[in-house]
Amino acid sequence: MAKKSPRPSRREESLSRERIVDASIELLDSSGEDGLTFRALSERLATGPGAIYWHIANKGELLTVACDVVIARTLQSELAGGTPKAKLRSLALGMFDALDAHPWMGSVLIRAELQSPMVRVVERIGQQILAMGVPAQEQWTTVGALFSYIVGVGGQNAANGQFARAHGLDRGDFLEAMAKIWSKLDPEAYPFVRSVAGQLRVHDDREDFLAGIDLILRGIESPPSRAQTGLASQED
């Protein structure tokens, strides 16, 4: 009589792609991209690497899927009502906070190129741009500008925070030191930088980010004819 194949243990039965991704996000948040290895993940999940490879082909795929899951959850929390402008502000702040909470995500999002994480964000921005009535010939550049700002500024803020934590830097002390350096620069060579040294001490990264979003949105809402008229008057 042929021997029956051993039934998988409860531990193996409970291992799912979702559990693997959630554990990966935890590892990435605590140890960064370098800390995510299949060995570390196996230890966290109390299983063997082979069981993980059954669900995920390699680290690159795992990073992309983890990024996609975080973005999908972030977009799900977006306000259902409101104007397209309000939805874009909500989306932008949601992404800013997600990048701040998961600093590893910025570089992964860019490397994912046309895969799901980037496509989700571009699609959601694009839907609101369509709802705002932006002309077809301007939609691509408008969406690109918003996407680049959200991911670029949000990702840089997250990287700055990660650097500060890694080196034990206090944000207030660091900004105070930088403000003192700026205030002592050559007034002829750096008149503007000297003038904003005081603002550097007290600025809020999240508020500045949102102010930039509002600036872009005001530009989108401005009729081209008005912008051209203003330009013509300046030239006159």
CATH number at residue 193: 1.10.357.10
Given this model, what pLDDT does residue 49 score?
Answer: 85
The number of distinct structural domains making up the chain is 1
Instruction: List pLDDT tens digits, range 206-217.
Output: 999 999 999 999
- Please, are residues 98 and 77 in contact by the beta-carbon 8 Å criterion? no
**For 52-72, what is the mean pLDDT?**
92
Question: Does 186 map to a domain?
Answer: yes
The stretch 131-136 carries a mean pLDDT of 94
Domain contains 48? no
Write the Ramachandran bin of 131: left for phi over 0, alpha for psi from -120 to 50, otherwise beta. alpha
**32 within some domain:** no
The per-residue pLDDT for 6 is 44
Question: Considering the domain boundaries, does residue 18 fall inside one?
Answer: no
Q: Containing domain of residue 96, as a range?
A: 57-222
Assigned domain for 118 exists = yes
In a domain, residue 108? The reply is yes
- Does some domain include residue 104? yes
- DSSP codes, 26-82: HHHHHHHHHH--HHHHHHHHTS-HHHHHTT---HHHHHHHHHHHHHHHHHHTS-SSS
d(CA 14, CA 117): 26
**Does residue 5 form part of some domain?**
no
